[in-house]
Structure 1
Amino acid sequence: MIILAATPIGNLGDASRRLVEALESATVIAAEDTRTTIRLLGALGVTNRPRLIALHDHNEKERAADLVELARTTDLLVLSDAGMPTVSDPGYGLVAAAAEAGVLITAIPGPSAVVTALAVAGLPTDRFSFEGFVPRKPGERAAWLGSLSAEPRTMVFFEAPSRVATTLASMATAFGDDRRAAVCRELTKLHEEVARGTLAELVAWAGPGVRGEVVIVVGGAAARDVAFPDAVTQVLELVRSGTRLKDAASEVSGLTRHSSRELYQAALAAKG
């Protein structure tokens, strides 16, 4: 089978007993960075030295088929550098190929920067979306963030420390200076820090520079901020995901305060 194993995102004390046992018994490990995995084995006191195969963004397409065949006859442990494989890390292509081939897939749960940041941000957690890494190019970033301006759920983003100030400024432009947010830095590590405030306040905070691994959490758009056309788009997206039109209109109405009937009729017309 294929075993996706979550590794610590900072504090080695977060390594689960199941993870250590899996590392001790593994014969083959597919790792995002084999050097990181070697250091992890040493830090956790694991003396086992399994065969290590590099599996990263640049070779996953090429290696997925061979690894799936390997997993038919042996357990293949899959690791990213930190957190759960496949979540903005290599592994999705391998899992998709394995599922298509009928190879068993399981996971060893563990640390997640997404959920950890969401938990400490102080923003609504009942509904959230993980948006991954922010586009680097200014035009793409502006358009992408603009498409999220009416998103009612709390949003979680990954970002490189060198680009945090620029990204926060772009978010302030797209979402408004007063939108609440949090920048979570070095989660679970010695110098963990969570800066909370409006986007305008966080832009000023990040001005001198930010170091370490960073997760940005941004509050969703308030109901009154969602324009009617954007609300209709949300209805249509729910319908495309399998929700009945009537139920989708009702759900979006509760989030945006637009009339359920008007949303239903507009979405129905848009569907043709």
Structure 2
Amino acid sequence: MVSHSSDEARGALYIVATPIGNLEDFSVRAINTLKKVDYIAAEDTRHTKRLLNHFDIDTRLFSLHDHNERDKASYIAELLSQGVSVALVSDAGTPLISDPGYHVVSHLRNEGFTVVPVPGASALIAALCASGLPTDQFYFAGFLPAKTKSRKEVMASWKTQPGTVVFYESTHRIMESMKDLAEVFGSSAKLVLAREITKTFETFLSGSADEILQRFSDDANQLKGEFVVMLDHREESDSESEELENRRILSILLEDLPVKQAAQLAAKITGHKKNALYQIALELQS
């Protein structure tokens, strides 16, 4: 049983990230946590059992998935109240990120139980950091609706969404999603698709939706696997006009604010980086 420093003899829930492909991404802390807890709540016990066997982990398992997690929330709360420790894992990656667990964690935190994150692999972050798209601001949309009409409505709502948009897609619907993106955004949007992250055939595809559809047509193997789709729909703006507008805004703000505060406020107004605006403000003050 995992020991706790709390005066109360209550267990904790550990949110444990598991590998999304490469088993070497499994952290030492995650392995040790799964060995020490009393129970592991798994999205698919058969899938998790294979992972546990590979790392010689013999902790008891029970299932926790989309269809039973509301009921399991009370069960886990009862276990924790008895001083029992539980780890939550999904089939791959970080639990709750488009995987089960939200209702359990929300319930336990509302009841005052300790919930401990044990971070690790996440397809979302792994793909985004290697995409070459802006990472200072991004929006994660999870999985999109299965029906075309609803999917297009969601995509259209992104036109006013700041930052890079990221969503997950399956091999069965990636072609249709690309066709919908081409219809909604045309050729102006930049796309990067990450396929089979950390696995043998990890691939990044870049271009417009039409260009990526052509890649699929040229090589059907590119349709295989699980996808992280990243979209930068912001139009390229004239840098000179942008610079003039930044200077205009900063000049107004500097009439009443010190340089640091003016740069901070200008960053909120324009969405541009604070450090760059701070340098412009210093030039204006000199």
Q: TM-score range by the shorter chain?
A: 0.7 to 0.9
Equivalent pair of 1:7/1:83 in contact (CA under 8 Å):
yes
Q: Deviations over 1:189-247 (max 9, x none)?
A: 111111111222112223336111211111142376xxxxxxxxxxxxxxxxxxxxxxx
**Aligned with 1:52 (options 46, 61, 79):** 61
Structure 1 residue 251: deviation in Å?
6.1
Equivalent pair of 1:28/1:75 in contact (CA under 8 Å):
yes
Letter in 1 for 2:49: I
Check if 1:254 corresponds to 2:267: no
After the TM superposition, list the runs of 4 or more consecutive aligned residues in structure 1 that deviate by more than 4 angstroms.
249-253
Counterpart residue number, 2:79: 70
Q: Deviations over 1:46-82 (max 9, x none)?
A: 1x42221100001111211111221222111000011
Structure 1 residue 250: deviation in Å?
6.5
Q: Distance in 2 between matches of 1:19 and 1:255?
A: 37
SS of equivalent residue, structure 1 residue 161: coil
Q: Deviations over 1:20-68 (max 9, x none)?
A: 1112222201000001111001222x1x422211000011112111112
Counterpart residue number, 2:3: none
Q: Percent identity?
A: 36
**Aligned with 2:230 (options 213, 217, 237):** 217
Check if 1:188 corresponds to 2:198: yes
Unpaired stretches in structure 1, ≥5 consecutive residues: 225-248, 257-272
Q: Structure 1 pair 212/148, CA: closer, same or farther in 2 (3 Å)?
A: same
- Larger CA deviation: 98-107 vs 141-150: 141-150
Q: Distance in 2 between matches of 1:252 and 1:145?
A: 25
Counterpart residue number, 2:27: 16
Letter in 1 for 2:173: R
Counting only pairs closer than 5 Å after superposition, residues 26-175 of structure 1 correspond to structure 2 as 26-44=37-55, 46=56, 48-72=57-81, 73-175=83-185
- Would you say how many aligned residue pairs link Structure 1 and Structure 2? 232
SS of equivalent residue, structure 1 residue 2: strand
Q: Name the Cα RMSD after superposition.
A: 2.0
Q: Structure 1 pair 137/250, CA: closer, same or farther in 2 (3 Å)?
A: farther
SS of equivalent residue, structure 1 residue 149: helix
Equivalent pair of 1:156/1:215 in contact (CA under 8 Å):
yes
TM normalised by structure 1 equals 0.80
Unpaired stretches in structure 2, ≥5 consecutive residues: 1-11, 238-264, 273-286
Greater gyration radius: 2
Letter in 1 for 2:169: E
